[in-house]
Amino acid sequence: MGIDFTWEYVVGHFNYWLFSVLMMTGLYIVVAKGNLVKKIVGLNIFQTSVFMLYISMGKISGGTAPIFPLDMEIDPDVVYSNPLPHVLILTAIVVGVATTSLGLALIVRIREEYNTIEEDDLLLIEQAIVNTENALHGKSMGGRA
């Protein structure tokens, strides 16, 4: 099942290219950035890319909003988009907002306790705690992870 990368194929899947780019951008930010707030931003971009995937798949070319006319007389020539993925993504957006707010709340608490939100500094502080613990309670293996 080979794919020939014709112009039409590339342009026709424009949404999906963007989805992939956004998804990898988000994931890269989560992994590469040391600042905890930036990680949450990356996570948001990552989740937003999924919204795009779902909304794209519900769209039918030439399709209109799936709302019945008031008189309920449905013109068979009108094509409607699939509303289900859009509804699903409403739920996913709510989940995303909840995750973001919880993440930010945790960052506020981390800032209060550690006085920093940079991952490198956090690791140093935790390593110092582990070192004092090991001095008190004997050596252990495994470290932070």
Show the binding pattern over residues 80-99: x = contacts another protein (CB under 8 A), - = does not: ----xx--x--xx--x--xx
Tokens of 133: 């613990």
Smaller CB distance to another protein: residue 70 or 141?
141
> What does the alpha-carbon distance between residue 107 and residue 105 come to, in Å, rounded to a whole number?
5
26, with CB counted inside 10 A (0-12, 13-18, 19+), is buried
Smaller CB distance to another protein: residue 10 or 113?
113
> What does the alpha-carbon distance between residue 35 and residue 120 come to, in Å, rounded to a whole number?
9
Closest CA to 37 of 87, 82, 101, 86: 101
Show the binding pattern over residues 16-55: x = contacts another protein (CB under 8 A), - = does not: -------x---x--x-----x--x---x--xx--x--xx-
Tokens of 20: 């992939």
- Report the residue from 126, 127, 128, 131 that binds another protein according to the rule CB under 8 A: 126
- Report the residue from 68, 69, 73, 137 that binds another protein according to the rule CB under 8 A: 137
Cα 131 to the chain's mean position, in Å? 35
- For CA atoms 7, 8, 14, 16, the dihedral sign is negative
135 is a site residue for another protein (CB under 8 A): no
User: What is the contact surface with another protein in residues (CB under 8 A)?
Assistant: 1, 23, 27, 30, 36, 39, 43, 46-47, 50, 53-54, 57, 84-85, 88, 91-92, 95, 98-99, 102-103, 106-107, 109-110, 113-114, 122, 126, 129, 133-134, 136-142, 144-145
